[in-house]
Amino acid sequence: MISTTRKFRWQISICAVLLAGILSASPWPAAADQIPAGWEASNMKPIGYSDLGGHEAFKMAIKHVNDRWYLYIGHFVAGGWSIVDVTDPANPQVLKFLPAPMPTSSGQVDLHGNLMITPLQDRAGYGGDPNKKVNEGVLLWDISNPLGPEQVAWWKTGATGTHRDGYPGGKYAYLSAGMPGYKGQILVILDVSDPSHPKEAGRWWMTGQKEGEPPLPAPIYGFHGPAVIDGDRAYLGYSPAIVILDISDISKPKLIGQLTVSPPFGTNIPVHDVMPIPGRPLLFAHAEGTGGGDSPTGAPACQGAQFLTGLIDIQDPAKPKLISTFPTPVPPADAPYTDFCDKGGRFGPHNTNILQHNPDVEKQGDLIYLTYFNAGLRIYNIKDARLPKEVGWFIPPTPTVRRMPAPYDKLVSQTEDVLVDTRGNIYISNKQWGIFILKYTGPGEPAPTAK
C-alpha cells in the first residue's frame, strides 16, 4: 500500500510534469532579459538583450524562415553554438544549444540556404584543457529544419583546424585553414556540392608560407577570413596584405593584385578582413586590434604602429591603393579616461557587417558598422570615400560578472561581432555579456527591406 505522504508527493510530481508540459507548449514567450543599465550611445539605442543563459558570445549568422527569424551564435568557451529566436527583437529567446566536440575553439559560424558551417580550431586559451588533443576542422550542418540542425560531415585539416570560414552559397566553401606544411593560415577551397562528402578543390598561399620557400622579410600571419566572393574574384584579408585573387579556375587561384599594409600599419593581425563596396570601385579593409590583456602576459591595448581602418581604391585591381583612413574613436565626455587605450582590455577594430552573401543581412550602402572591442560599436558614413565620418556609437556597460578569462587586465566590456538584418536590427556580441540588439537613429540608414 502507498502511504498517504508518498501518494501526495507522487500526485504533486505528476502535476508538476503536466504543468511543465503546458508551459513549454504555451504560445506566450518567456519574459525578456532586461537590458543592462549603464550603456552609453550616440544616434543608437538598445531595443533588446539576451543573457544567453550566462554564456559569452562571438560570431553570428541569421536565417529568416516563414515568419520567424533565427540567430545562430558561436561561443568562445561554452563549447558550441546557440540558436536564438529574434523574431521579436525586444524579446530574444534562446531555443537550443548545439554542443561542439570539445575541447576546441567553436566561436565561428556562417550559413547560406540550408547549409551551415561551424569551424573548429586548436587555439590556446579557448579550447578547454591545454593538455588534451583539440578537435579541429569544420563541421557541416543541414539546417533545413532551422531548430534541428543535423551534422552531415566533419572535414579535418590534419593540423590546427580552421578559423573564419565563409560559405556564400553554391558549390564551394572558403576556409581559413591551418594546413600541414604551412606557416599560418592559408585559403582552402572546399567542394561542398555533396555536403556529406566535402573535398578540397583548391588552395592558395602567400609565397613564404610553405615549408622550404624563402621566408618573407616580415612575419606572415596568413589568411584570417572570411573570403568575400564576387563573381570570379575573391577578396582576402591576408596579413600583411590585402589580396585580390582570380578564382575563375578554382583549382588554381591566381593573384590579381595586393597591397601590403604592414609596415607602416601595425598589430599582429594588420589585415583582419576586406569587404567590397557594391557599385563603387572600393574595398573597406581593417586590422584586428590586439594586445590589451588578451593573455595573462599580454601587451598593452595600444602599442607600436597605428592599426589600419580605411578605404582602398580598386579601379585598377592589380594596383589597389589606400585613399582614406577612419577617425579614431573618442571616449564619451564623462568617461574616467581620456583615451580608450587607458580603459583596459583590447582597443581597436575587429568585425564588420560582412556576411553580405546572406539574403537576410542588410546590404552594404553608405554605412560601415565596425566593432571596436572596449570602444563598443562604431558607425561610419562613407558617402564621401575620401572623408569617412563617424555618425553613431554604442558602448555596453561595464560587466559585473566574468564569463571568460580575457581580458586579463581588467573586467571591461569587449564588443566582438556585428550583424545587421534586413529589418534594420543591429546585433552585437560580447566577451562578457550576451547579445545586445540595437537601432540606429542617425542619418543614412537604409530603408528596411523586410518586416
Is the confidence at residue 67, as pLDDT, over 50? Answer: yes
Total domains in the fold of the chain:
1
Taken in order 161, 162, 167, 170, is the CA torsion positive or negative?
A: negative
This prediction has a pTM of 0.92
Q: Which domain holds residue 290?
A: 40-440
Q: How close are the terminal C-alpha atoms of the chain, in Å?
A: 61
Is the confidence at residue 87, as pLDDT, over 60? Answer: yes
Residue 445 domain-assigned (yes or no)? no
**Residue 358: all three cell numbers together:** 546572406
Give the domain CATH number at 343: 2.130.10.10
Q: In which band, very low, low, confident or very high, does the pLDDT at 21 lie, cut at 50, 70 and 90? A: very low
User: What digits encode the pLDDT tens for the residues 125-166?
Assistant: 554 566 778 899 999 999 999 999 999 999 999 999 999 999
Residue 244 domain-assigned (yes or no)? yes
Residue 447 domain-assigned (yes or no)? no
Q: Where do the H-state alpha helices sit in 223-355?
A: none
Using CA atoms, how far residue 260 sits from 163, 206, 307, in Å, is 22, 12, 13
- Supply the pLDDT for residue 304: 67
Q: In which band, very low, low, confident or very high, does the pLDDT at 19 lie, cut at 50, 70 and 90? A: very low
User: What digits encode the pLDDT tens for the residues 286-301?
Assistant: 999 988 777 666 677 7
Residue 431 domain-assigned (yes or no)? yes
Kindly report which listed range (5-9, 262-266, 386-390) carries the lowest average pLDDT score: 5-9
CB atoms inside a 10 Å sphere around CB 15: 10
Q: Burial of 291 by CB count in 10 Å (0-12 exposed, 13-18 middle, 19+ buried)?
A: buried
Q: Please, are residues 168 and 141 in contact by the beta-carbon 8 Å criterion?
A: no
Q: What angle do CA 167, 289, 270 make, to 5 degrees?
A: 70
Helix (H) or strand (E) holding 48: strand 44-50
Q: In which band, very low, low, confident or very high, does the pLDDT at 445 lie, cut at 50, 70 and 90? A: confident
Residue 8 domain-assigned (yes or no)? no
Please state, in angstroms and rounded to a whole number, the distance separating the CA atoms of residues 397 and 39. Answer: 4
Please state, in angstroms and rounded to a whole number, the distance separating the CA atoms of residues 410 and 402. Answer: 10
Residue 21 domain-assigned (yes or no)? no
Q: What angle do CA 76, 80, 85 make, to 5 degrees?
A: 105
Residue 14 domain-assigned (yes or no)? no
User: What digits encode the pLDDT tens for the residues 89-106?
Assistant: 999 999 999 999 999 999
- Supply the pLDDT for residue 15: 39
> In sequence order, what are the residues at sequence separation of 6 or more whose Cβ sits closer than 8 angstroms to the Cβ of residue 293?
301, 344, 345, 346, 406, 407, 408, 409, 410
Q: Please, are residues 294 and 408 in contact by the beta-carbon 8 Å criterion?
A: yes
Residue 433 domain-assigned (yes or no)? yes
User: What digits encode the pLDDT tens for the residues 341-353?
Assistant: 999 999 999 999 9
